[in-house]
Structure 1
Amino acid sequence: MKSLMASAFRKRPNASKACDIHALKNINVEINSGERVGLLGHNGAGKSTFLKTVAGLYPISSGTLRVEGQVRSLFDLSLGFEPDATGRENILYRGLLLGLSPKFMREKEAEIVDFAGLGEFIDYPIKTYSAGMQVRLAFAISTTVGGDILLLDEVIGAGDANFMSKAKNRITSLIEQAEILVLASHDFSALQSICNRGLVFHHGDLVFDGEIALAVNEYNKINGL
């Protein structure tokens, strides 16, 4: 708006203009029950966009998207907190954003508080939390319940070694319970230990779809590694 108002009072011969950016192009993928799928690609290749499209956060401009099952996504964990509300109040708010009922969140509150390990800070405003404390609370809330389709973006960095151990165990449990896992990561050892299928993205195009070890090889070849 500011740019438009300014342009009304002055003319610039080479003024920039907005244009469409297609983060994903000509994607044709079917993921079935039981599959563990790893997403590979350089930063900006389209991995996160793919995840958020499947999660329903980004609308598609053409084609068809069909998702059958309850989706649980873990990315941008610290988004959605009300900074002036306490951690305890944000448990309820965050639960509502995840589509969970107030009754369910009240039943799970004690478990979430214990898992986050924030002690008395749970009754302090979120704006007084460090970034790590916010992620710990968000992780504890978001992983309280799993889903049929689990979407993960990168590894969760959530505090000290003790908490990281708990986080890893909970993620492992969610993965085991999920019918479908889609994981975007640059940690190829983790991808190969967890996933059986790999999708390689390059500048918004899906350039490889196959066995995970072959997907890693294809990524390395594309990027000259």
Structure 2
Amino acid sequence: MTAAIEVDGLGVRFRRNRRGRRSFKDLFAGASRRNRPGEFWALRDVSFTVQQGESIGVVGRNGQGKSTLLRLVAKVLLPDEGTVTVYGGVAPLIEITGGFVGDLTVRENVRLTAGLHGMSKAEVSRRYDDIIAFAELEDFQDAPYKHLSNGMKVRLAFSVVSQLDEPILLVDEVLAVGDKAFRDKCYKRIDELLADGRTLFFVSHNERDLRRFCTRGLYLNKGALVLDAGINEVLDRYNADSMPAA
């Protein structure tokens, strides 16, 4: 099989203080010090490979490094240790309403956002009607984006990003938003993308969605990869660890 994502010895650290500044004492202590006061490792020594066409679910409690890992794969963050190698482009369904401009119309935002994700003008024109129809915004194409409801904004963002032809789909809890009818449309669209051979990297707390879409799981705890196995085994282990002690 051919790799889609390779992660080797991955580590990323953050500062606990709000500004993230280091003192002069820290600086003169030497850049090679691995554990400075006020710093913590969000991920440490994480390694795994995702093959093309695999569906991977990432699980763990809040604050254990799941979304940080997704952002590293999306190249939004850079690691402090190790490497993340992604073979091919990604369609990032993470923080999907980011990047839209409030004063621009829906029509203008579709063309701008799709273009920023790499669609040519010809591709945007060809897919525009499908994007608007999926989002159910035919009557709002010339309305300012800032006047849309939150549900409308999410529908529009999902519709744009899910039209990308990139081979790797990154998803972070996006299916938790919107009404049931829209979630059903999202499920169907993701099923279509997976049937087309896309690779799925899915961070979620929704066990039903994880079991539906994923065949393999990664369980993160305190920034470490605890278990890499079939999704059912991973969820069983995570649920067992999450139960309160008797």
Output the CA distance in 2 between the equivalents of 1:72 and 1:43.
24
Output the CA distance in 1 between the equivalents of 2:215 and 2:183.
25
**1:63-99: CA deviation from partner (whole Å, max 9, x where unpaired):** 1221112211211111111000000000011112212
Structure 1 residue 204 and structure 2 residue 223: aligned?
yes
Aligned equivalent of 2:47? 28
* CA distance 1:222–1:67, change in 2 (3 Å): same
Aligned equivalent of 2:108? 89
Give the drift of 1:158.
Answer: 5.1
Give the drift of 1:120.
Answer: 2.3
* CA distance 1:48–1:83, change in 2 (3 Å): same
Structure 1 residue 144 and structure 2 residue 167: aligned?
no
One-letter identity of the residue aligned with 1:203: K
Which of the pair has the greater relative contact order for Cα pairs under 8 Å at 6+ separation?
A: 1
Structure 1 residue 120 and structure 2 residue 113: aligned?
no
- Partner residue of 1:132 out of 142, 146, 151: 151
Residues 104-119 of structure 1 correspond to what in structure 2 (within 5 A)? 104-119=123-138
Aligned equivalent of 2:34? none
The percentage of counterpart residues that share the same residue type is 36
Output the CA distance in 2 between the equivalents of 1:94 and 1:19.
37
Residues 1-225 of structure 1 correspond to what in structure 2 (within 5 A)? 19-157=38-176, 159-224=178-243
Specify every segment of 5 or more residues in structure 1 that has no aligned partner in the other structure, as ranges: 4-17
Conserved in 1, the CA contact under 8 Å of 2:168 and 2:199?
yes
One-letter identity of the residue aligned with 2:61: H
Give the drift of 1:34.
Answer: 3.1
When the two structures are aligned, how many residues end up with a matched partner? 210
TM-score (norm 2): 0.79
Q: SS at the partner of 2:85?
A: coil
One-letter identity of the residue aligned with 1:120: D
Conserved in 2, the CA contact under 8 Å of 1:147 and 1:178?
no
Q: SS at the partner of 1:56?
A: coil
Q: Once structures 1 and 2 are overlaid, which stretch shifts more, 63-72 or 162-171?
A: 162-171
Q: SS at the partner of 1:63?
A: strand
Output the CA distance in 2 between the equivalents of 1:31 and 1:138.
26
Q: Pairwise CA RMSD of aligned residues?
A: 2.0
Q: Once structures 1 and 2 are overlaid, which stretch shifts more, 79-88 or 66-75?
A: 66-75
TM-score (norm 1): 0.86
Output the CA distance in 1 between the equivalents of 2:127 and 2:231.
37
Aligned equivalent of 1:14? none
Output the CA distance in 2 between the equivalents of 1:195 and 1:164.
17
Give the drift of 1:105.
Answer: 1.1
Output the CA distance in 2 between the equivalents of 1:35 and 1:166.
22
Q: SS at the partner of 1:162?
A: helix
Give the drift of 1:155.
Answer: 4.3
- More strand, by proportion: 2
Give the drift of 1:182.
Answer: 1.2
Conserved in 2, the CA contact under 8 Å of 1:150 and 1:175?
no
Output the CA distance in 1 between the equivalents of 2:85 and 2:241.
30
Output the CA distance in 2 between the equivalents of 1:220 and 1:179.
28
Output the CA distance in 1 between the equivalents of 2:109 and 2:86.
29
